[in-house]
């Protein structure tokens, strides 16, 4: 049998039962690889359930630093009999399968093109540990020990990590180390270790990653820190997976970093609202009154927040909303990842509205863009929505460290205080003095007799006096559009990469690829796969809406542009078609909406299909996704 070979480049998957305590053992495994200086990205694939259903943990190891999903599984570690049949089937030919051999493997689970490693996990733990809870919990640690031997993880690193995790709890440390050793020795004694695929510290890992001081963190924690550093003082929210941990992390950091030293009291307020309507209402009220405020939610919450997003757009109140996207409605697949709120967010609400969106692709960007969102919301006096997703928000990503420039000053935008009001020749809340569509706002309580106005939707004139005149309405709406134009130069510009050089290109077509957020990493990997096939593809990673001018130029400069995203309807593609002057046929949708994050292989396959199908004249494509 031909076995898969390779160093620092493979996919491991753990198949577990939800609620069995596997998460922390699996995390230990991934973190050890990270500590070896090898690029790694772990992903939880979990059901909307607290206990009992199958759950998986997929670990991508990539010397080149590709942190998206590759597709396929090289080594499966299966401790869930429920899912075993499918798990066996999912292993690549030549791959490896570790299982609990306390009971013999049923004949129908035996393939002759993969290698099996039976470790009697249950039996070992029953023998070793008196109580059922320990038997259950430490079983997870035993298989990590066995995997460590098979893949050549440095044992001392695992021990250090356990020491960090259970600091001060010596008994826990020693029982965990013991379990690790049990698994490790069993594998060493019974199998040929390491496997043909394994890890090597300082091996062929990407030099840029080794040198820097990377961190392992999830996007939600990073966004929460962004809110702390960005000066948020009010957080109002309603629990919903996968956004809950944003506010949990914000609360934890705030309790540490936002306590007034004199009184011991709080320089922040967190309110768990009665629903998402109230959550965003509180944000609107606090922002209107001059505090930096935010909320975090996911799809169903975004729907409920829609009315207030409209009011905030028209009344020009800053709002920061972190949307950690997931699949569909509450009874959709709430614990699965997607990028499917794009259109709902971009055009959120009644009337003619357009909202500012930011698309982070890494935890580092979740941090930076959350800070920036507070500045943008106040500069532009409008809602700013950070479009994260479950994959980015809840999974650990290897990321460059967070950086902070101490000279940063919050940009509170155009706000007139008492002095400013006294100096202003003529002030009207909606007077476009500077011609950029952004007017000067005032805060309640600032001046004894100037600057007060009545905030309302769109029935008003430039002086904020009630008006239902069509002329006033049109003037206001046109100014809001002008403001949206101004926003283009404020929001983060897209990132382009030079194409990977291809010596003998197989096509004369100029190919481009557009993507954003968590589609980026697998897209970059797919582009490299395509370059190896002889197809050079230029890339542009979109980072914000409104779109930068260079997006139009990028599309015009190519014959065919793939738009890679994770939803059924090609929402980003549609948004681009709506907002840019381009022939829709040029944009070819590459989609994944299965709930599990898109893989590099599936992207490359679809690109190959698209190119194979119509080779040279491929430009005349359907305008609708196929």
Partner 1 sequence: MSYIKPKFQHPNMPKNALGYTVGDYNGAISTLCAGCGHDSISAAIRNACFLSSIPPHRIAKLSGIGCSSKMPTYFLGRSHGFNSVHGRMPSVATGASLANRELTYIGISGDGDTASIGMGQFIHLIRRNVNMTYIVANNGCYGLTKGQDSATADLGAVSKAGNVNPFDGIDLASLAILQGASFVGRSFSGDKEQLEPLIRAAMAHKGFAFIDVVSPCVTFNNHSGSGKSYAETRKALDAMPLDFVPMREEIRTQYEPGTTQGVTLHDGSVIHLHKASNGYKTDDRNAALLSVQEARDEGRLLTGLLYLDPNTQNLAQNLKLASKPLNSLSKDELCPGSRMLDSINQGLR
List the one residue from 329, 445, 534, 583 that touches partner 1 (CB under 8 A).
445
Minimum CB distance to partner 1, residue 356 (Å): 20
- Write down the residue that tokens 């999830």 correspond to: 218
Residue partners of 577: CB distance under 8 A and separation at least 6: 584, 587, 623
Q: By C-beta, is 112 or 406 nearer to partner 1?
A: 406
Which helix (H) or strand (E) element contains residue 183?
helix 170-190
Give exposure, 52-70, as e/b (b: 16+ Cβ within 10 Å): eebbbbbbbbbbebbbbbb
Binding segment toward partner 1, per CB under 8 A, in 75-83, 166-174, 408-416, 600-608: 408-416
Binding segment toward partner 1, per CB under 8 A, in 203-211, 253-261, 338-346, 544-552: 253-261
Which helix (H) or strand (E) element contains residue 342?
helix 342-346
Binding segment toward partner 1, per CB under 8 A, in 115-123, 166-174, 186-194, 452-460: 452-460
Would you state the structure tokens that stand for residue 303, as one six-digit string?
A: 């729907």
Minimum CB distance to partner 1, residue 278 (Å): 4
Q: How far apart are the first and last CA of the chain?
A: 39
Residue 421 near partner 1 by CB under 8 A: no
- Give the other-Cβ count within 10 Å of 113's Cβ: 12
Q: By C-beta, is 78 or 384 nearer to partner 1?
A: 384
Q: By C-beta, is 255 or 532 nearer to partner 1?
A: 255
Residue 453 near partner 1 by CB under 8 A: yes
Cα separation values, 571 from 34, 347, 499, Å: 35, 12, 25
Q: By C-beta, is 266 or 506 nearer to partner 1?
A: 266
Binding segment toward partner 1, per CB under 8 A, in 131-139, 336-344, 353-361, 465-473: 465-473
Give, in degrees to the nearest 5, the angle at Cα 227 between 400 and 273.
135
Minimum CB distance to partner 1, residue 266 (Å): 5
Binding segment toward partner 1, per CB under 8 A, in 175-183, 230-238, 549-557, 600-608: 230-238
Residue 263 near partner 1 by CB under 8 A: yes
Q: By C-beta, is 113 or 164 nearer to partner 1?
A: 164
Residue 245 near partner 1 by CB under 8 A: no
Minimum CB distance to partner 1, residue 378 (Å): 12
Length of the chain, in residues: 626
Q: Of 542, 551, 574, 516, nearest to 344 (Cα)?
A: 574
CA-CA distance, 403 to 601, in Å (whole number)? 33
Chain positions 467 to 486 lying near partner 1, rule: CB under 8 A, are 467-468
- Write down the residue that tokens 């590709």 correspond to: 66
CA-CA distance, 568 to 236, in Å (whole number)? 31
Bond into 194 cis (ω within 30): yes
Residue 268 near partner 1 by CB under 8 A: yes
Residue 533 near partner 1 by CB under 8 A: no
Minimum CB distance to partner 1, residue 437 (Å): 22
Q: How far from chain centre, in Å, is Cα 168?
A: 34
Q: Of 383, 355, 359, 380, nearest to 369 (Cα)?
A: 359
Residue 279 near partner 1 by CB under 8 A: yes
Q: By C-beta, is 16 or 287 nearer to partner 1?
A: 287
Binding segment toward partner 1, per CB under 8 A, in 69-77, 334-342, 454-462, 512-520: 454-462
Minimum CB distance to partner 1, residue 32 (Å): 12
CA-CA distance, 367 to 229, in Å (whole number)? 9
Binding segment toward partner 1, per CB under 8 A, in 6-14, 464-472, 481-489, 506-514: 464-472
Minimum CB distance to partner 1, residue 380 (Å): 19
Minimum CB distance to partner 1, residue 283 (Å): 6
Q: What are 44's strand-pairing partners?
A: 57
List the one residue from 83, 243, 442, 476 that touches partner 1 (CB under 8 A).
442
Q: Of 33, 42, 97, 43, nearest to 63 (Cα)?
A: 33
Which helix (H) or strand (E) element contains residue 111?
none
10 Å CB burial of residue 434 (0-12, 13-18, 19+) is: exposed
Residue 411 near partner 1 by CB under 8 A: no
Minimum CB distance to partner 1, residue 406 (Å): 5
Which helix (H) or strand (E) element contains residue 615?
none
Residue partners of 30: CB distance under 8 A and separation at least 6: 40, 42, 57, 59, 216, 396
Residue 447 near partner 1 by CB under 8 A: yes
Per-residue mark of binding to partner 1, 309-328 (x: CB under 8 A): --x---x-------------
Q: By C-beta, is 126 or 463 nearer to partner 1?
A: 463
Size of the site for partner 1 (CB under 8 A): 74
Minimum CB distance to partner 1, residue 409 (Å): 6
Residue 136 near partner 1 by CB under 8 A: no
Q: What are 269's strand-pairing partners?
A: 234
Cα separation values, 25 from 16, 29, 314, 519, Å: 11, 6, 50, 28
Binding segment toward partner 1, per CB under 8 A, in 116-124, 138-146, 449-457, 488-496: 449-457
Residue 415 near partner 1 by CB under 8 A: no
Give the 3-state secondary structure of residue 327: strand
Chain positions 368 to 407 lying near partner 1, rule: CB under 8 A, are 401-406
Q: Cα dihedral angle (78, 139, 33, 157), rounded to 10 degrees? A: -160
**Strands 6-7 and 9-17, how do they pair?**
unpaired
Minimum CB distance to partner 1, residue 241 (Å): 22
Minimum CB distance to partner 1, residue 512 (Å): 35
Q: By C-beta, is 465 or 580 nearer to partner 1?
A: 465
Chain positions 208 to 227 lying near partner 1, rule: CB under 8 A, are 213-217, 225
Q: By C-beta, is 452 or 626 nearer to partner 1?
A: 452
Residue 260 near partner 1 by CB under 8 A: yes
Residue 351 near partner 1 by CB under 8 A: no
Residue partners of 334: CB distance under 8 A and separation at least 6: 48, 240, 241, 242, 298, 326, 327, 328
8 A C-beta contact, residue 463 and residue 428:
yes
Residue 289 near partner 1 by CB under 8 A: yes
Minimum CB distance to partner 1, residue 450 (Å): 9
């Amino acid at each position: 049998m031909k076995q898969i070979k390779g160093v620092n480049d493979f996919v491991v998957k753990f198949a577990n039962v939800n609620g069995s305590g596997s998460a922390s053992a699996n995390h230990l495994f991934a973190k050890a690889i990270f500590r070896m200086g090898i690029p790694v990205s772990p992903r939880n694939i979990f059901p909307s359930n607290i206990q009992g259903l199958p759950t998986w943990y997929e670990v991508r190891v990539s010397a080149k630093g590709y942190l998206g999903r590759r597709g396929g599984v090289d080594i499966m570690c299966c401790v869930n009999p429920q899912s075993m049949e499918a798990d066996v089937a999912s292993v690549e030919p030549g791959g490896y399968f570790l299982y609990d051999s306390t009971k013999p493997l049923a004949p129908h689970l035996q393939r002759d093109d993969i290698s099996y490693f039976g470790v009697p996990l249950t039996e070992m733990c029953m023998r070793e540990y008196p109580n059922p809870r320990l038997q259950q919990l430490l079983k997870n640690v035993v298989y990590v020990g066995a995997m460590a031997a098979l893949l050549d993880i440095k044992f001392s690193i695992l021990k250090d990590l356990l020491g960090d995790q259970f600091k001060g709890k010596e008994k826990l440390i020693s029982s965990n180390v013991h379990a690790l050793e049990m698994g490790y020795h069993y594998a060493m004694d019974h199998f040929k270790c390491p496997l043909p695929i394994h890890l090597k510290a300082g091996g062929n890992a990407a030099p840029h990653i080794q040198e820097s001081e990377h961190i392992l963190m999830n996007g939600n924690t990073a966004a929460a820190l962004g809110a702390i550093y960005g000066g948020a003082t009010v957080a109002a929210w309603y629990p919903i997976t996968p956004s809950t941990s944003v506010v949990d992390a914000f609360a934890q950091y705030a309790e540490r970093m936002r306590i007034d030293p004199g009184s011991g009291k709080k320089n922040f307020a967190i309110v768990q609202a009665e629903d998402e309507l109230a959550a965003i209402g509180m944000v609107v009220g606090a922002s209107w009154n001059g505090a930096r405020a935010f909320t975090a939610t996911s799809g169903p919450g975004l729907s409920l927040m829609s009315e207030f997003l409209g009011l905030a757009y028209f009344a020009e109140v800053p709002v920061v909303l972190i949307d950690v996207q997931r699949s569909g409605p509450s009874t959709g697949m709430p614990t699965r990842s997607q990028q499917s709120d794009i259109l709902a967010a971009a055009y959120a609400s009644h009337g003619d509205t357009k909202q500012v969106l930011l698309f982070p692709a890494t935890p580092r960007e979740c941090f930076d863009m959350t800070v920036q969102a507070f500045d943008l919301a106040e500069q532009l006096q409008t809602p700013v929505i950070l479009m994260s997703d479950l994959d980015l928000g809840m999974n650990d990503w290897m990321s460059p460290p967070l950086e902070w420039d101490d000279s940063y000053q919050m940009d509170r935008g155009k706000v007139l205080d008492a002095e400013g009001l006294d100096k202003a020749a003529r002030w009207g809340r909606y007077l476009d003095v500077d011609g950029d569509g952004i007017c000067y706002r005032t805060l309640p309580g600032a001046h004894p007799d100037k600057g007060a106005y009545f905030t309302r939707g769109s029935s008003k004139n430039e002086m904020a006096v009630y008006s239902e005149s069509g002329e006033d309405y049109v003037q206001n709406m046109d100014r809001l559009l002008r403001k949206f134009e101004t926003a283009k130069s404020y929001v983060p510009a897209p990132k382009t990469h030079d194409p990977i050089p291809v010596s003998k290109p197989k096509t004369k077509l100029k190919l481009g690829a557009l993507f954003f957020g968590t589609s980026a990493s697998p897209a970059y990997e797919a582009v490299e796969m395509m370059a190896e096939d002889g197809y050079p593809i230029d890339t542009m990673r979109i980072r914000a809406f409104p779109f930068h001018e260079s997006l139009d130029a990028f599309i015009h400069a190519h014959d065919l542009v793939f738009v890679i995203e994770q939803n059924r309807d090609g929402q980003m593609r549609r948004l681009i078609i709506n907002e840019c002057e381009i022939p829709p046929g040029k944009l070819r949708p590459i989609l994944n909406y299965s709930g599990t994050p898109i893989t590099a292989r599936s992207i490359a396959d679809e690109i190959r299909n698209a190119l194979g199908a119509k080779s040279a004249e491929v430009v005349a494509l359907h305008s609708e996704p196929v």
